[in-house]
């Protein structure tokens, strides 16, 4: 149990670092790779919890995360966004990277402080102290990414980090939902990615770029 | 043999270990990187040959320079040797001189060498020396907060800044080894080593373009024995940082636990093995990343700083 606790803490630390990495990385391809690692950390945490708590349901969560977020989502994104985005070295941002780093540090501290009372209130969930603050941190990082990046794909990635963060916190709170709910929730993610991916693909085709932050004027087609 | 002689002898073994193997590590790293890039590369013993060749050569000293220029290589060379007298590199218990300083003292001694080298670079009339020196200071002053925070986190987690106590804290059990705060400090310290040693994301050690150089333009002006000392000192400094990183933070195993000389000698291959594994990791990282632009270095170090901050806050939140 002690070992599982430490392992989960280790994975949570990696989860937080990968989240931070997605905020500070300029290159789209780097962000995508970090997202894969981020999702792997999520799956690993679910696996550790599954073994430690003896809950096969969490094993399913790990498996589903692995298939959707680690394999399906990157494939869909690669297809939707095309090479033009991944070859570009810099993604447009509203804030400069050093300021983003500072904000990320602030968000992390906020997550720790806010999650404190919440964790104290939960008694029968042994891993809540690790997963809830980390998940919350990731949620905030995701929201921040969505608001700061000007690039459609990067914003989508921000949404996905938010989703992963919520997952990271929830796997420790609820261990015994039926698998069907889990599958339904998990399938939503690639579908959402597919829909937004199609949208991005269309924006790219019509305007020749995906920097949605710059698309301020209404352009009518007759 | 009386205990005190043994202790002094162990100290001496550490110094010899450092002097002997530091060029080899550098050679292996250079060779590995060349192999990864699809070239054959120079022999792993090339740094030894370079040092041997340089020691036999005449030395040219600029007329414009002062005593600092001639003094700097000696200081730079002796500081790593001092460090290895203070901290245990092959043992898991304190050595004879350990009472004189902890990890902060190690940082100070390293910084002292760096300080004199920077001064010496500005001492001659060379154009590139001052550029490199001022850039090194820039990287140095950006990495300083991270350095301090790393030490702070380590002492906060392990309740000590003395290396052998810190590594005993980690080595205690797997669960203390896997603490999240520990991992975060390891990541931050690794990023710091890359920045401090002028390795790839910050500076390219094999680059030969003076205008883009950071750390490596400072000894352009040296020749003969001084150049050999600078080269050797650089290799030793690198090896010491790796030893601190590996022995204290990452893999606190394989060290001699008794004060017998035979045990210490057995620890040498174990420590070397760790160093070589680390060199392989380093070669892969260096070959897969691109060098950052000068003004991007602050971002890199800010990230390391925030990771350190994470380590502190994880600890403060009571998560071991």
pLDDT at B319: 63
Mean of pLDDT values over B38-57: 92
Query: Do residues B151 and B92 make contact, with C-beta atoms less than 8 angstroms apart?
Result: no
* DSSP reduced 3-state for B173: coil
Identify which of B307, B317, B320 has the shortest CB distance to residue A20: B307
Of A4-13, A183-192, B184-193, which gets the smallest average pLDDT?
A183-192
Question: Please, how many CA atoms are within 13 Å of residue B45, restricted to the half-sphere of its CB?
Answer: 3
pLDDT, tens digit, for every residue of B192-210? Answer: 988 888 887 777 777 677 6
Domain span at residue A15 reads 2-214
User: Are A98 and B179 in contact (CB < 8 Å)?
Assistant: no
Phi, psi for residue B91 in degrees, rounded to 5: -120, 160
Contacts by residues B30-35 (CB-CB < 8 Å, ≥ 24 positions apart): B30/B206, B32/B279, B32/B280, B32/B283, B33/B206, B33/B283, B33/B286, B33/B287
Q: Are B320 and A6 inside 8 Å of each other by CB? A: yes
Q: How far is CA A61 from CA A4, A48, A51, B95, in A?
A: 17, 11, 12, 51
List the single residue in A10, A105, A112 with the smallest CB-CB distance to B180. A10
**Residue A219: what pLDDT?**
67
Q: What pLDDT was estimated at residue B2? A: 80
A38 pLDDT tier (thresholds 50, 70, 90): very high
In a domain, A93, yes or no: yes
Does A219 reside within a domain?
no
- Tokens 């991944």, located at residue: A86
In sequence order, the 6+-apart residues with CB closer than 8 A to the CB of B137 are B118
pLDDT at B71 over 70: yes
**A105 and B306 in contact by Cβ < 8 A?**
yes
pLDDT of residue A78: 81
ipTM summary value: 0.83
Q: Which residue of B has its CA nearest to A112?
A: B317
The per-residue pLDDT for range B75-128, each reduced to its tens digit, is: 999 999 989 888 888 888 878 777 777 888 888 888 898 899 989 988 887 888
Do B302 and A101 count as a contact with CB atoms less than 8 A apart? yes
Model confidence at A17, pLDDT cuts 50, 70, 90, reads very high
| Interacting residues of A39 by C-beta distance below 8 A, sequence separation 6+ | A65, A66, A69, A70, A73, A164
Return the structure tokens found at B94.
């304190």
Asked if residues A63 and A181 have their Cβ atoms less than 8 Å apart, the reply is no
Closest chain B residue to the Cα of A98, Cα to Cα: B299
Domain tally, chain A: 1
Of B2, B32, B10, B29, the C-alpha closest to B263 is: B10
Residues of chain A contacting residue B176, judged by C-beta atoms under 8 Å apart: 6
Q: State the average pLDDT for chain A.
A: 83
Mutation target for A interface from B180, B183, B299, B304: give the one with most A CBs within 10 A: B180
Contact present, B22 and B232 (Cβ < 8 Å)? yes
C-alpha to C-alpha distance for B102 and B151, rounded to whole angstroms: 11
B295 vs A contacts (CB less than 8 Å) = none
Write down the pLDDT at residue A5: 84
**DSSP class per residue in B19-69:** HHHHHHHHHHHHHHHHHHTT-----TTHHHHHHHHHHTS-----TT--HHH
d(CA B28, CA B45): 8
Residues in chain B within 8 Å Cβ distance of A108: 306, 309-310, 313
The pLDDT of B40-49, averaged and rounded, is 91
- Please give the structure tokens belonging to residue B259: 């004060």
Check A129 against B318: CB less than 8 A apart. yes
**How many beta-carbon pairs under 8 angstroms link A with B?**
78
Averaged pLDDT, A67-91: 78
Using the Cβ of B295 and the Cβ atoms of chain A, whether some distance falls under 8 Å is answered with no
Average pLDDT over residues B265-271: 90
pLDDT, position B20: 93
- At what angle are helices A128-148 and A2-24 packed, to 10 degrees? 10
**Nearest to residue B313, comparing CAs of A120, A109, A101, A130?**
A109
Q: What pLDDT is attached to residue B279?
A: 94
- Compare CB distances from A7 to B176, B178, B299 and report the shortest one's residue: B178
Stronger pLDDT, B115 or B178, i.e. the higher one: B115
Residue A72 has pLDDT above 90, yes or no: no
Reported as a pLDDT band with limits 50, 70 and 90, residue A85 is: low
Mean pLDDT of A16-30: 88
What is chain B's mean pLDDT, rounded? 86
Q: Which of A7, A13, A24 sits opposite B303 (nearest CB)?
A: A24
Asked if the Cβ–Cβ distance from B174 to A3 is below 8 Å, we say yes
Residue B166 pLDDT class (50, 70, 90 cuts): confident
d(CA A158, CA A144): 8
Spatial separation of the C-alpha atoms in residues B304 and B175, rounded to whole Å: 24
Residue A204 has pLDDT above 80, yes or no: no
Mean pLDDT value across residues B144-165: 83
Residue B19 has pLDDT above 60, yes or no: yes
Nearest CA distance, B90 vs chain A (angstrom)? 28
């Amino acid at each position: 149990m002690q070992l599982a606790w430490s392992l989960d803490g280790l994975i949570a630390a990696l989860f937080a670092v990968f989240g931070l990495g997605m905020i500070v990385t300029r290159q789209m391809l780097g962000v995508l790779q970090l997202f894969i690692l981020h999702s792997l950390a999520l799956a690993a945490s679910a696996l550790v919890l599954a073994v430690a708590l003896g809950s096969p349901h969490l094993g399913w969560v790990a498996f589903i995360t692995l298939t959707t977020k680690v394999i399906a989502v990157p494939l869909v994104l690669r297809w939707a966004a095309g090479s033009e985005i991944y070859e570009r070295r810099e993604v447009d941002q509203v804030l400069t990277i050093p300021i983003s780093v500072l904000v990320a540090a602030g968000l992390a501290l906020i997550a720790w402080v806010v999650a404190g009372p919440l964790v104290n209130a939960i008694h029968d969930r042994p891993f809540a102290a690790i997963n809830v603050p980390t998940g919350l941190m990731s949620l905030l990082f995701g929201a921040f990414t969505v608001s700061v990046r000007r690039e459609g794909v990067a914003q989508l990635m921000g949404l996905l980090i938010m989703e992963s963060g919520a997952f990271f916190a929830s796997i420790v709170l609820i261990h015994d939902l039926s698998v069907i709910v889990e599958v339904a929730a998990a399938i939503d993610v690639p579908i959402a990615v597919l829909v937004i991916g199609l949208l991005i693909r269309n924006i790219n085709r019509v305007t020749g770029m995906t920097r949605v932050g710059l698309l301020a004027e209404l352009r009518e087609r007759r | 043999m009386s205990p005190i002689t043994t202790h002094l002898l162990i100290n001496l073994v550490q110094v010899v270990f450092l002097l002997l193997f530091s060029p080899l590590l550098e050679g292996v790293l250079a060779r590995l990187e060349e192999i990864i890039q699809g070239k054959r590369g120079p022999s792993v013993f090339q740094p030894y040959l370079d040092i041997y060749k340089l020691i036999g050569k005449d030395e040219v000293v600029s007329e414009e320079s002062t005593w600092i220029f001639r003094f700097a290589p000696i200081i730079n060379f002796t500081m790593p040797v001092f460090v290895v007298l203070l901290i245990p590199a092959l043992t898991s218990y304190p050595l004879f001189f350990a009472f004189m300083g902890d990890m902060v003292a190690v940082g100070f001694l390293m910084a002292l060498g760096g300080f004199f080298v920077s001064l010496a670079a500005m001492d001659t009339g060379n154009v590139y020396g001052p550029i490199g020196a001022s850039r090194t200071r820039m990287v140095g002053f950006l990495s300083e907060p991270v350095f301090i925070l790393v030490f702070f986190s380590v002492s906060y987690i392990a309740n000590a800044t003395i290396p052998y106590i810190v590594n005993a804290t980690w080595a205690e059990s797997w669960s203390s080894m896997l603490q999240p705060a520990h991992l975060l400090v390891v990541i931050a310290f690794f990023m710091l080593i890359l920045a401090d040693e002028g390795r790839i994301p910050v500076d390219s050690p094999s680059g030969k373009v003076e205008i883009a150089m950071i750390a490596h333009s400072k000894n352009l002006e040296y020749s003969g024995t001084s150049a050999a000392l600078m080269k050797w000192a650089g290799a030793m400094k690198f090896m010491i940082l790796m030893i601190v990183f590996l022995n204290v933070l990452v893999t606190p195993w394989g060290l001699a636990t008794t004060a017998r000389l035979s045990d210490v000698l057995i620890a040498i291959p174990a420590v070397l093995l760790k160093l070589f594994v680390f060199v392989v990791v380093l070669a892969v990282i260096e070959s897969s990343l691109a060098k950052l632009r000068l003004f991007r270095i602050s971002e890199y170090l800010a990230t390391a700083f925030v990771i350190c901050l994470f380590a502190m806050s994880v600890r403060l939140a009571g998560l071991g």
